[in-house]
Amino acid sequence: MSSLVIDAFWPDGTRKRQRGRIRGNSLWSQKDSMLITYGNSIIDGAHKPLDLLSDFLSTYLDGALSSVHILPFFPYTSDDGFAVSDFRAVNPQLGDWADINRISEHFNLMSDLVLNHVSSQGQWFNAYLQGQAPYDKFFFEASPDDDLRDVVRPRTTPLLREVETSNGTRHVWCTFSHDQIDLDFRNPEVLLEFLRIIRLHVDNGVQIIRLDAVAFLWKEVGSPSIHLPQTHAIIRLMRLLCDYADEKIILLTETNVPKAENLSYFGTGDEAHAIYNFPLPPLILHALMSGDGQYLRRWQRGMPPAPMGCAYLNFTASHDGIGMRPAEGVLPEEEKQKVIETVKDIGGLVSMRALPDGGESPYELNTTFYDALSRTFDGKDTHHHERFICSQTIVMSLEGIPAFYIHAMLATANDHEGVVHRGMNRAINRHRWDYPSLRELLSDPSTPQARVMHDLSARLKIRKKQGAFHPNATQFTVNLGDDRVFGVWRQSLDRHQSIFALHNVSKDPVTIPAAALNLIEDQAWIDLLTGTEIDATAADITIAPYQCMWISNRL
């Protein structure tokens, strides 16, 4: 089997390292930050969307962001790309491999490995229905009589789909939808095929592989079929291969689950290079809606540093909704309900998941993050812009690599027409911008789009120069005695720079004692965001509503 794995990952014409990479902090730096986007988030009806994306990146984000995650850019049949019908082609409605290559020449590129399931209308499943080898054993089958009560589901649709094959009636496993048929990794040929697909992506300039929905990879009847040991074993194998690859390859796992389950995908430093920091979106949203950062602080205080050779990916907004499962055990139920009701008040939606007892529970909130922060628990006010910028600045300040959804960078409003037109809640956060109209908005400094783009880009450009913001730089959560201010202390790997990152999550000006920061008196201190000198001997520091401060020693 080992020789088959090696041949799949290193076909003729490729080479591997003699020794695996030593675990360290050199795969990323403070210069790294990421844009998350669909290949067709920007359109004009005349040019290839990937060409427009390339122009947008070079025109507006060059020097601010280093990486781009292009969500599934393959031919597909549903779920906005996550029901892939051909893993080896670029969706011709977006462009072709040459367009992907062009973007990868200027930005670190992340692609999706949608390895849990494929489209029911794709070649693989059609071959399965016809009994053609090897695809006749590619899909996970079960029986309606099996005990499936404990299976963890992110959806409310029936788990099994009845299909007619050349071998008779079968029931195939569908974790997500009946157009997304789960693969059977008990068959080694499935794994080998995905190793070949990873190689194809790498050969086309991809440096970061996102393992989509990987927690559901291995199934066992009578079990929850999530986070099973075999899933972790497959990730360890992929990590080993990536560490022996001549190219730089980073594995990122997408596991929208509570904290302990999510952290398990670091393994012992031998699984994912990076994991999403999924509790951040609901916790940051709650802090800024409530004006109270206590739950964010408590959670952050209990977060371990990433293992050597690993990192967190920090974000608030993504193509999916704001997941509520990661808030389990962190936000009290009454606080979660306040967030849900406030999102509903601004026109957001709530998607549910099925529970083993037959009930339902909120799975995610469907809204743009920009619109979600248009009001607080107390109602609307005049601080929308400042509150939103504060939310994104927290992402920039924490240990890890910051990532920003394109609709956060562009202050996109909820797309209610998209929900009606496409018949799915998540369409509210998947607007497609007309490029000429967007360029016009970005050229007017008074528009929300121009203001948010300017402020976030400016802070990212400041951030990339600070060693204390290396993804693995030391971090301590600071207790400032006032829950309206969320603060962390960062120190560079060489210990030369310290940054006290302070974020007022409330509508009130807040004064904190300077002694709480323990600024060294014989050093000069400056707020990097305003250029204001900070007196280490002062009694107090006052922070305006939703203001952020990056107080650094002068180097």
Which positions make up the binding site for substrate?
Answer: 79, 117, 210-212, 319-320, 426
Cis peptide before 158 (omega within 30 of 0): no
| End-to-end Cα separation, the chain, in angstroms | 54
Tokens found for residue 6: 């090696």
Secondary structure E strands in 97-204 = 108-113, 117-119, 160-165, 168-173, 180-182
Which one-letter amino acid corresponds to residue 75? Answer: P
Which residue out of 212, 292, 371, 482 is catalytically annotated?
A: 212
Neighbour count for residue 55 (Cβ, 10 Å): 14
- From residue 55, how far is each of 327, 441, 505 by CA, in Å? 37, 16, 35
Tokens found for residue 310: 């690993």
Burial of 379 (0-12, 13-18, 19+ CB in 10 A): exposed
Neighbour count for residue 269 (Cβ, 10 Å): 14
Give CA–CA dist 469/465, Å, rounded. Answer: 8
Buried-exposed string 67-79: b where 16+ CB fall within 10 A, e elsewhere: bbbbbbbbbbbbb
Residue 349 β-bridge partners: 366
Write down the residue that tokens 């029931």 correspond to.
Answer: 171
Which one-letter amino acid corresponds to residue 38? Answer: Y
Q: Is residue 455 annotated as a catalytic residue, yes or no?
A: no
Give CA–CA dist 353/333, Å, rounded. Answer: 17
Write down the residue that tokens 């959560």 correspond to.
Answer: 477
Angle between helices 384-397 and 448-463 (to 10 degrees): 20
- From residue 114, how far is each of 214, 449, 529 by CA, in Å? 8, 32, 39
Which of helix, strand or coil describes residue 414? coil
DSSP state of 544: -
What is the enclosing helix (H) or strand (E) of 376? strand 375-376
List residues with catalytic annotation: 212
